Amino acid sequence: MLIMGGAVFADEVCELALLNGRVIDPESDTDIVRNIGIKAGKIFYLGTEAVETKKTIDIAGLVVSPGFIDFLSYDQNGTGEYYKAADGVTTNLSMHGASMVNFEKYFENTKNKLYLNQGGAISQIRLRYSVGLMDAYQKPSTVQIQSMCELAEKAYANGALGLNLSTEYLPGTTFEEELELAKVTKKWNALMTGHIRYSTMFDKKTNIDAIREVIELVRQTGVSFQIDHINSTGGTFSMAASLDLIKKANEEGLDITLDMYPYDSWATYLASARFDGDWQKRFQITYKDLQIANQPERLTEEKFKTIKKMKAPYNNPLTVAYAVPEKDIVTALLFPGMIIGSDTIIEPDKNNHPRGAGCYARLFQKYVKETKLLTLTQAIAMCSYYPARRLEGVSSAMKNKGRIKEGADADLVIFDPEKIKEKATVESPGEYSEGIEMVLVNGRIVKDNAGIVKGIFPGKPVKRDSSYFTLKKSPATLPAEVKKVKRIEITPVDKGLLSGEKQITSEKTAPLPASPITGEK
């Protein structure tokens, strides 16, 4: 048998054929029924002809999407990756900071142990620990900054994709420290990401100040930068104004992009920076807006104070705060090029914020199916093509992800858009999403109708290329359908919101847990 154009020959039998699926590829703006032939972890054939194959699965009536790329996650831990897979994730990127600075050891320890594809960024927190900066308020010396830069250089040489700043949790961070780390990141053509310095509009320093700090950093160094979870840090109560600053910076030629998770709540540890000082004023919430993860009740003032008085680690439970206005989520989702990232992973005790298990199902359930804020193609692009495009200049491996075309990696999600549903809740975060029928990682089925397939490790490392590549600027040209995204009127920042009565001065970083993969803190 010879199929012209499909490159499928009788002596080149595919390992698996997916027939009659509704293929949606954001890069080419394709939304059409096609057959897919898979061989050696790649999409070998895409077309309408029959496919000679060892195994056939008819997926008529279901959507076939590029595998979702969780841009803002943490290391796989033997549990969390299963919840990711059930939510459609095929590539898990620890861009909020990997569990160790030594990336040679990082990739050695995960060799042949990856369920999902995995890459990561250098953690500023761990860099500081490595040079003796254990106090979040401590400012680094010139020698310590130099040492951090040397460690970053080694990490980049061994495959790190970028470097994550966490300046809100590390108030001792100086602009000189940021500047020198950004210069190293630029030198290696990698991506700097950041949990930026302020997350409020109700203090002396605000979201606007934090974004301006990022803009100045990019302006001075030329580094490519992605602001983490803009919905909870940098955009809450100022989303339109915050996005306008980013838009103007892009027009200036500065390479700054954004990610977010589609939730009206965030989570952090109770002993962390966010709950020091006047947190009620800062986030416009009260005790009743707080809930310990994996617990049914909201907090009271009495219970909050009781927990805070406990000895470590009992004074530091993961706490969810219902503190993000829905209108800010909607506004952010409509920003061109927005990337979805969960900002968490379910832990071995099945605890964490529910976004670790249901982030992607929630996006499709609520904002595609129910509210129709996004089209199916737009949502798929935000979960797959945009994150792949953002990193393809750092790692050429990303050029073969986030797309459905011949030669691309067979990282695929097959789902029913009418049945997709988030099941995870704050009370029970460890619940698998529904409606995602099948997930393939490099051509291997990791999730099917029977559930999660365990005991296999089809994931591959995602490393920065050994030779230099120029990071492509985003947002790049959007697919035709994605260009139809609803535009919103951006209004200038309200000057009255830029002033506050009190600056937060008592922030501390929560202790870092050991990595389930490496055992390193």
Give the pLDDT confidence score for residue 161 in this predicted structure. 98
pLDDT in tens, 219-255: 999 999 999 999 999 999 999 999 999 999 999 999 9
Give the pLDDT confidence score for residue 275 in this predicted structure. 86
First to last CA, the chain: 56
How far apart, in whole angstroms, are the C-alpha atoms of residue 276 and residue 434? 38
Token couple for 349: 């005790």
Same fold flag, 2-66+408-452 and 68-268+321-400: no
Token couple for 214: 């990022």
Cα distances from 13 to residues 18, 38, 445, 475, 492, in angstroms, run 14, 9, 18, 39, 59
Task: Specify the higher pLDDT residue, 483 or 271.
Answer: 271
For the segment 55-63, the average pLDDT, to the nearest whole number, is 97
Give the pLDDT confidence score for residue 467 in this predicted structure. 62
CB neighbour list of residue 216: distance below 8 Å, 6 or more residues apart: none
Residue 478 has pLDDT above 90, yes or no: no
Give the right CATH number for 68-268+321-400 from 3.40.50.920, 3.30.1050.10, 3.30.70.260, 3.20.20.140: 3.20.20.140
Of 10-14, 161-165, 344-348, 455-459, the range with the lowest mean pLDDT is 10-14
pLDDT band at 272 (very low <50, low <70, confident <90, very high): confident
pLDDT in tens, 72-86: 999 999 999 999 999
Across the beta sheet with 290-292, what order do the strands follow? 266-269, 318-321, 290-292
Question: HSE (CB half, 13 Å, CA atoms) of 219?
Answer: 12
User: Phi then psi for 6, rounded to 5 degrees?
Assistant: -90, -10
Neighbours of 311 (CB within 10 A): 7
pLDDT in tens, 396-409: 999 999 999 999 99
Listed by start position, the domains of the chain span 2-66+408-452, 68-268+321-400
Average pLDDT, the chain: 89
CATH architecture for the domain at 2-66+408-452: Roll (2.30)
- Helix (H) or strand (E) segment spanning residue 33: strand 30-39
